[in-house]
Structures are given as structure tokens and as C-alpha cells.
Structure 1
Amino acid sequence: MSDRELERRANHKLAVLRHVEEVSFNVAATCRYYGISRQAYYGWKRRYEAEGFEGLKDRSSAPHHQPAKTDRDVVEKILWLRQQYHFGPQKISMYLARYHDITISPSGVWRILHKLGLGRLPTSQRYKRTQTRWKRYEKQRPGHALQVDVKFIEPLGQKGKKKRYYQYTAIDDCTRIRVLRAYERNDQKTAIQFIDHVLAKLPFQVERVQTDNGAEFGQAFHWHLLDKGIDHVKIRPRTPRLNGKVERSHRIDSDEFYKLLEGEVLDDTRLFAERLQQWEDHYNYDRPHGALGGQTPYERLKQKAAAPLS
């Protein structure tokens, strides 16, 4: 409330007090005239006699002691995660518990976000109509299905003729473990190099690879997988949702990796590869995953290894 509004409301209270002394000489009649209770009148009168005009100004009704109130530094962390990463209440709750040893329920996070006017995100899937939401599924065995896709990227800070880079991404359907690598070319030869890198790096055997219909996943790539005893499946044209996990992971890359590189010069291929590897390690070992109940991909892998399917 502005100072001008506080002044106006205080003057109104003073007018009520003066009405009793100068006009009606009757508290009950004045209270009926102004539509207030006698309890309010006497409260104003006591404050006016004790503090003068300043005592009539409105004060905060919040209690002086609020033992259940969330600490300011926790609210600031919630606000930072929401604005920086666009995390929802559940993901924020996971991050605070894992990295700051702060326990706060998703509903508590939501109430804070709602109070700050950040209760909704404009493009969140949460607010799509029920019939248009995607159904979540996952394979029950690591390596049963591997989704592979390519993301075009343009490293920041380049001058002159800009280089074109392509981020190749493979994600395991069951554990969400990812393998990332950046290349300057996007063709079948590069795709074959990448899949060989993936197969050498993953700690489990891959049974099937799923891709879109891009030219880089053509016949040479297809037969290369078959020669290794791995099935190759292509999704239907114009249905990227069928490769939803790798598509979603690319959005995470944009929000949590590339967005935070703003202002850094990464036109050096080696430096860019190092940063991408650091991000891959963070995603696999440190970043809690909402679809995994707050586990990291490697924690999910350990869980699956400890309780193999019969």
C-alpha cells in the first residue's frame, strides 16, 4: 500500500473519532453511521491517544513470530531454480534435498511460487488438456532400446565465418543414461562413428537403436547396426514424439546447459567437447531426474542391476 493510501485511510479514522466528539457525542450512533464496530472505534482511539496521527496508519497484520515461515535463503533458492531452469515444484524439491540438505514438500514449493506469481509456466506440459498429454512409458531393461537423435548447435562467441556443429545424443530408454558428442559434420559416416563410441561407453549391451528418418541414419548406418547384432528401428515420419525421451533431453540441454553458456566464447572444438563432456557427466551422475523419482540415471542403473528381471 502506498504512503498516499495510508495517509488517506488514517484521515478517515481521524474523521470518525472527531465525529463522536464534535457531531454525535455518541459512539454507537457514529459507528452505525460509518458502518464500523465499536471494537474498531475504541482500538483506533487507544492508538490515537498513545501515538497520535501515526498510530492511525494501517500496520501489517502478519504475526511478529512465525516459526513455520520458510527461511529467506530457501525462498531465494526456489526462485533461482524456477527462473534459471524453469523447474517445477517436484524437481525443485528434489534439488533442494539432494544439493542443499533442505527438506520442503512439492506442495510447499508450489505455495511459495504461487505467492511470488510464478505458479505457471507458459509452455509447461502440465497445463495441457488431458487428452493431449503424452503418455509416459519406459522399457524395463537397460539397453533394450536406445533413442538416438541429432541437435544442430552454433557455439557462442564465434566471429567471422561461423562453424556448424551437430550434437549427437543417445539415451537409454530404461535408465535415461545419455552419451553426447559434438561433430562438425552430419552424415552417415559421423553417425557410425558416434554409435561405435556409444556402444564402447555404455556399461550394458544394446539390443535396439531407434532413430528418426534423417539421412544420417540411412542404409550404411542401418547395416552397420545389423552387423553388430543390434536391431535398427525408424519412427514414423513427422512423429518426433515417438522419440520423446531424446527430444525432451535436447530441451533440457537448451535450458540447463546452452542457456548458461551465454557470454562464453566456445568456438574452439576441443574446449566445446570438454564442456559437453562435463555436462554429460553431470546429467548422468548428479542431476536428479523427475521421471526416475529423483534418482540420477546411474542410480537407476544400479537399482536395475541389483534387482534384475526374472
Structure 2
Amino acid sequence: MHFPGERVQIDVKFVPESCIVGNAAGEKFYQYTAIDEFSRWRYLEAFQEHSTYSSAQFLEHLIKAAPFKILCVQTDNGTEFTKRLLPGDNGPSLFETRLEQAGIRHKLIRPYTPRHNGKVERSHRKDNEYFYADHKFYSSEDFKAQLKIHRYKYNRFPIRPLGWLSPNEYLAKYRNLSSV
């Protein structure tokens, strides 16, 4: 990618049941993740529902939070994003309708090839190692609060693909260079 927002990968992670404890035990939590392919800037949000409605909400929050204009969103073919692989009427999902309203192109990866969404898939593996391995959530609100802190730390942590700059530093450097 050549600039921020050129393409943003989005996916959903099912929170491991072992992390959901106390009064929340037995509930299901989902982590929606968006990662900019250029800067690796990441936006995370917690949901209790895995649906096209949650995906549309996540998209609206992402558009407001992103420090750049999003031109393209890439997802897998999950029913939370598209109805393309469902039998019968294959009109646009609520998520696809919101993308169109925002003027954002939707790119779907080939079915059953998660490697095509590799950046967001890798970020989910790292979340398993560095977040879910040692965190417990006692309620939906607790999960949301802890995930917000995790997101804050991620965007400020230096990573090798960006020359040991954090995603926030990389974006700032890009803005400074493009304004010259």
C-alpha cells in the first residue's frame, strides 16, 4: 500500500471461553478488528453479538476513529459482512449498505483463504499470545475497558515492519513527509 486508508482489513475474533469468567461465564464476546495495511494502525472494539448489525456499528465507529480517510475495506465472506455465499436473495447486507453510503469500496477475499487477510489474522494470533493468554473478563463492560487499553498500547508500540516505529509514529512521519 502507498498511503493510509488505501485498504483496511477487518475481521472478527471470537474471545476464548477461558477468558470469560465470573458472572459473565457462558456469555460470548467478540473482538472486531480493523488494521490499516499501510501503517498497521489498528482499531479494536468489543461486542456481544456477531452480526451484520454489529459489523455496521463497528464500521461507523472505525470511520470516526480513523486518523485517515478509508477508501477500501477488505473482509472475508462471513455472514457478518456479506450475504454473497448464502442461498436465495443475495442483496447487500447492512454492513455492505453502510460501506456504500460511506463511499468505501468492499473487497472480499476468496472463500476459505484467510491468508489473504493476513495482517488482521496475524494480529489476532498476537492478541492470543499477548492479551488473551493472561486476561480474564468479568463482564462485557470489563472486556470493553481492557480491550480499549490493549488498543491504546498497540498503536504506540514499535514494530519491525515499520522500521521500529509505532503505527502512530509511522502515520505522523507520513503526514510530515506528505506535507513537504
Q: TM-score, normalised by structure 1?
A: 0.52
Are positions 1:273 and 2:144 aligned together? yes
Residue 215 of structure 1 aligns to which amino acid in structure 2? T
Aligned-residue offset at 1:156: 3.3
Cα distance per residue 1:72-107 (max 9 Å; x no partner): xxxxxxxxxxxxxxxxxxxxxxxxxxxxxxxxxxxx
In structure 2, the CA distance between the partners of 1:267 and 1:160, relative to structure 1 (3 Å rule), is: closer
Q: Distance in 1 between matches of 2:75 and 2:105?
A: 11
Q: Distance in 1 between matches of 2:66 and 2:43?
A: 8
Alignment correspondent of 1:178: 42
Aligned-residue offset at 1:160: 8.1
Q: Distance in 1 between matches of 2:100 and 2:73?
A: 10
Alignment of 1:208-247 (within 5 A): 208-218=72-82, 219-220=92-93, 221-247=95-121
Identity within the alignment, %: 39
Task: Name the Cα RMSD after superposition.
Answer: 1.7
In structure 2, the CA distance between the partners of 1:160 and 1:244, relative to structure 1 (3 Å rule), is: closer
Q: Distance in 2 between matches of 1:250 and 1:196?
A: 21
Aligned-residue offset at 1:161: 5.3
Aligned-residue offset at 1:159: 5.7
Alignment correspondent of 1:71: none
> Aligned match of 2:33 in 169, 174, 178?
169
Aligned-residue offset at 1:157: 2.3
Alignment of 1:1-310 (within 5 A): 139-153=1-15, 154=17, 155-158=19-22, 162-218=26-82, 219-220=92-93, 221-261=95-135, 264=136, 266-285=137-156, 287-308=157-178
Residue 228 of structure 1 aligns to which amino acid in structure 2? A
Poorly superposed stretches of 4+, deviation over 6 Å: none
Cα distance per residue 1:4-24 (max 9 Å; x no partner): xxxxxxxxxxxxxxxxxxxxx
Q: Distance in 1 between matches of 2:44 and 2:61?
A: 10
SS in structure 2 opposite 1:307? helix
- Give 1 or 2 for the bigger CA radius of gyration: 1
Alignment correspondent of 1:114: none
Residue 42 of structure 2 aligns to which amino acid in structure 1? R
Aligned-residue offset at 1:267: 2.2
Aligned-residue offset at 1:271: 1.3
Q: TM-score, normalised by structure 2?
A: 0.88
Q: Distance in 1 between matches of 2:101 and 2:44?
A: 23
In structure 2, the CA distance between the partners of 1:217 and 1:276, relative to structure 1 (3 Å rule), is: same
Higher relative contact order (CA 8 A, sep 6+): 2
SS in structure 1 opposite 2:80? helix
Determine which structure has the larger helix proportion and give its number. 1
Equivalent pairs counted in the alignment come to: 168
SS in structure 1 opposite 2:165? coil
In structure 2, the CA distance between the partners of 1:299 and 1:189, relative to structure 1 (3 Å rule), is: same
Residue 210 of structure 1 aligns to which amino acid in structure 2? Q
Unmatched tracts of structure 1, length 5 or more? 1-138
Cα distance per residue 1:134-155 (max 9 Å; x no partner): xxxxx12000000000000133
Q: Distance in 2 between matches of 1:159 and 1:277?
A: 21
Unmatched tracts of structure 2, length 5 or more? 83-91
Residue 5 of structure 2 aligns to which amino acid in structure 1? G
Q: Distance in 1 between matches of 2:141 and 2:23?
A: 17
